[in-house]
Amino acid sequence: MTEENTPLPQDSVENAQKEEYIEIPDGLLPEYEAQPKRKYGEKVIKGIIVGRGENKQVINIEDVKKLAALHLTYKDMANYFGVRENTFRDNFRSIVERARQTTKQRLMEAMLESAIVKQNPTILVWCSKNLLNWTDNPINTESNQVLPWLDEGNGQD
């Protein structure tokens, strides 16, 4: 071997796998040199003003309709907008109830479409039980009780 191909002690495998650590004092993180460019602006929100003083919020009606259509509770919607539940309920009850009713109607349409057009057996059974009041266990009433059998040997003719 020549001198050019002989490995030097600092090039050995052990030296190549040394780990290096950066020491950062507690509570200090290195500052990023490049901050993202941010643009600031103002946005006008069209909606209903609720609350008083510093708690005043402008709530977009379309946002309320979207959340209500998902059947969120009044508490969840009030928390989302940062207002009290009672304040939210008082100002948006009719909008929320209308949006929830729309969702129920859309669900009923989809269910009936699945039952009638697509002939989904599970939905057909569910609809027959819930909409037509059919049951797996019929209840005996006077109008549908089985007539008693007459025995020939008990002497009645």
Q: What is the mean pLDDT of each run of 10 residues along the chain (157 residues)?
A: 56 61 66 74 88 86 96 96 94 97 95 92 90 80 71 61
pLDDT value of residue 9 = 57
- Total count of residues recorded for the chain: 157
